[in-house]
């Protein structure tokens, strides 16, 4: 089920619409203006799962077009579907919204069955998008394994090469080389820990047509 934010200054109609959506299992929040919608998004550390906005086109102070433009600066059409609410006479405005990143539209007063069908379509698209993101994450993890293996093996080989000999012949220079190499390994392990905690990775070109994870 979707988590829906209805943005509409008509409180009576929006509350009736919200109740009908909730009866079908969706969770619904209401805000009565464009700035309140942007404030709502600003407060979210991350978007709720299957989050969809139903946005009225005509509102005082900040209309739906302006709200849409502001949201699209932060969220793509695949990350955050926006369904516009419009009057029958607002065809030109609807076309403008679709060209600026609206996902779909409903004509006011919204028919609940049509609304549910449009919402379901956006849920399916969100599922496809989230699935592609997870696939990308798995590909990134595979790249990380190859990168970490490469990054650790080099200093490990240096350390072993400096110490794997007659200890009576190991001088201060070789000890320093080994220590520097081991410190490099420790630094990489720390970065692996940070990536694990934060989930922040960066791809870089290692050789032609091959991407690996950059470790700084």
Pick from 119, 107, 123: nearest CA to 57: 107
When the candidates are 3.40.50.2300, 3.30.300.30, 3.90.1150.10, 3.30.70.100, the CATH number that belongs to 3-110 is: 3.40.50.2300
Name the one residue in this structure whose structure tokens are 């922040």.
Answer: 200
Tell me, what DSSP letter sits at residue 78? T
What is the full per-residue pLDDT of the chain (216 aa) written as tens digits? 999 999 999 999 999 999 999 999 999 999 999 999 999 999 999 999 899 999 999 999 999 999 999 999 999 999 999 999 998 888 899 999 999 999 999 999 899 999 999 999 999 999 888 877 766 766 676 676 567 667 777 777 777 777 666 666 667 787 788 888 888 888 877 776 666 565 554 444 444 444 444 444
DSSP 13-58: HHHHHHHHHHHTT-EEEEESSHHHHHHHHHH-SSPPTTEEEEEES-
Pick from 150, 80, 108, 123: nearest CA to 17: 108
Domain boundaries, the chain: 3-110, 134-213
Q: How far is CA 138 from the centre of its chain?
A: 15
pLDDT for the residue numbered 212: 46
- What SS3 class is residue 207? strand
**CA separation, residue 13 to residues 9, 32, 99, 109 (Å):** 9, 11, 27, 8
pLDDT for the residue numbered 170: 64
Paired with 106 in beta bridges are: 85
pLDDT for the residue numbered 147: 74
Q: Compute the distance between CA of residue 43 and CA of residue 33 in angstroms, rounded to an integer.
A: 16
pLDDT for the residue numbered 129: 82
Structure tokens at 188: 């990489």
Helices (H), 86-111: 91-99
């Amino acid at each position: 089920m979707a988590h829906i934010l209805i943005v509409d200054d008509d409180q009576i109609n929006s509350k009736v619409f919200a109740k009908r959506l909730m009866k079908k299992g969706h969770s619904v929040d209401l805000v009565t203006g464009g700035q309140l919608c942007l404030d709502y998004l600003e407060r979210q550390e991350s978007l709720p799962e299957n989050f969809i906005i139903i946005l009225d086109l005509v509102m005082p102070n900040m209309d739906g077009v302006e709200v849409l433009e502001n949201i699209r600066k932060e969220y793509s059409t695949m990350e955050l579907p926006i369904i516009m609410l419009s009057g029958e006479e607002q065809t030109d405005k609807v076309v403008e919204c679709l060209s600026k990143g609206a996902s779909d539209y409903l004509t006011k007063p919204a028919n609940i069955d049509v609304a549910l069908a449009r919402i379901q379509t956006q849920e399916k698209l969100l599922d496809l998008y989230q699935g592609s993101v997870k696939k990308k994450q798995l590909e990134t993890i595979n790249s990380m394994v190859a990168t970490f293996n490469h990054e650790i093996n080099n200093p490990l080989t240096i350390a072993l090469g400096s110490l794997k000999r007659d200890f009576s012949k190991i001088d201060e220079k070789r000890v320093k080389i080994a220590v520097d190499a081991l410190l490099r390994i420790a630094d990489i392990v720390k970065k692996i820990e940070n990536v694990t905690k934060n989930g922040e990775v960066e791809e870089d070109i290692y050789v032609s047509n091959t991407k690996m994870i950059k470790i700084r």
